[in-house]
Amino acid sequence: MPSTRMQRRQGTFPMFPFARGLDQLQANVRRMFDNPLTFPDLLTTPPQPLAWTPPVEISESRNEMTLTMELAGMDMKDVHVSVDGDVLTIRGEKTEERKEEEEEKHYYLFERNYGAFERSFTLTNTIDFAKIDAEFDKGVLTVHLPKSETAMARGREIPIGKK
């Protein structure tokens, strides 16, 4: 008797880490029952962490590198930026807000992320560490990483001549 399988279509909505983990678990369980002899290789699959990781963009201009992190729903007081040696670390926590009258509310879909996060980035020696600054506006953290004067002076055009 033919069986019908429901699958998620890729690209129709953002894939969060927990959704990928559930899809992988579902595929592994299905494979285990389809062919029980493949079960041992399921144990070699490394576990995927179920953590919230805010999206980041890093761009570069002539004078600076800019790191932008999307932290929708968070306040500036819940975000901490630090530099230790050549490592920039951003940490924070997004807490879920629930009101007492909402205790009996039943959710049918829950895709918003909550919890603590920490992201670390190794900076190059072209950054002027003393001039790093950050700003927070409308749920977006922007960290400005100015380049040192020597790093900006290094690049130059090399003329090409005939021999």
pLDDT at 80: 95
pTM of the model: 0.60
Spatial CA neighbour of 79 closest among 140, 15, 26: 140
What is the three-class DSSP state of 73? Answer: coil
CATH for the stretch 56-97+111-153: 2.60.40.790
Domain residue limits, the chain:
13-50, 56-97+111-153
* Distance, CA of 7 to CA of 14 (rounded, Å): 15
**How does pLDDT run along the chain (163 residues), one tens digit per residue?**
455 555 544 444 455 556 667 777 787 777 777 766 555 544 554 544 456 789 999 999 989 999 999 999 899 999 999 999 999 999 999 887 766 566 677 777 777 778 899 999 999 888 999 999 999 999 999 999 999 887 666 666 777 888 7
* Secondary structure element (H or E) that encloses residue 42, with its range: helix 39-42
